[in-house]
């Protein structure tokens, strides 16, 4: 399956809302207003993954925070159409976000449900480590979340090789 990564456009929001309903029904899925707000923030980057036919099969977003001297980033969301799970789309989206963050440097943070073993494994494979626990983070389900951190690239432990979508660090 060939996947194309593109910047998210306002026209993509309806599809994102549909996927949110499928992926996160118990945890207050984002509504259109949330995506519009995220797209309008100058420090956010949101992307979509499309299959060969142009159908959106996933989306992701990151906030590029801090300043040039003390940059950091925070992964806001990654969502993949359930019909496409286990096809590597989550990895492609994460690597695109990490490439964006890598251009600025600094650590990258995220939150993930403690019961989402596939996502935790994906993040660990890309150099993230659990640094904290947020009790009752997701609402209304009350599910807990781990806070995970990937160090700045120059601080990545030996043996962990962050990759960009094309497999080459820039």
* Cis status of the peptide bond prior to 39, with omega within 30 of 0: no
Cα–Cα dist 155/52, whole Å: 37
Q: What tokens does 85 get?
A: 């799970």
Residues involved in catalysis: 111, 123
**Is the distance from CB of 93 to CB of 101 less than 8 angstroms?**
no
Q: Give Cβ neighbours of residue 109 (< 8 Å, ≥ 6 apart).
A: 72, 73, 74, 75, 147, 148, 149, 150
Q: Give Cβ neighbours of residue 154 (< 8 Å, ≥ 6 apart).
A: 105
Secondary structure letter of residue 7 according to DSSP? E
């Amino acid at each position: 399956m060939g996947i194309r990564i593109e910047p998210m456009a306002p026209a993509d929001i309806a599809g994102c809302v549909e996927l949110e309903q499928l992926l996160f029904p118990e945890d207050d899925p984002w509504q259109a207003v949330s995506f519009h707000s995220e797209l309008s923030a100058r420090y956010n980057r949101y992307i979509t993954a499309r299959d060969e036919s142009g159908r959106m099969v996933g989306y992701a977003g990151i906030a590029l925070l801090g300043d040039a001297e003390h940059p950091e980033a925070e992964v806001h969301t990654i969502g993949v159409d359930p019909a496409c799970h286990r096809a590597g789309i989550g990895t492609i989206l994460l690597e695109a976000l990490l490439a964006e963050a890598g251009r600025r440097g600094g650590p990258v943070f995220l939150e993930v449900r403690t019961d989402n073993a596939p996502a935790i494994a994906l993040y660990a494979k890309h150099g993230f480590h659990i640094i904290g626990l947020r009790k009752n983070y997701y609402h209304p389900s009350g599910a807990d979340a781990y806070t995970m951190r990937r160090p700045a690239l120059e601080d990545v432990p030996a043996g962990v090789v962050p990759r960009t979508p094309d497999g080459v660090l820039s």
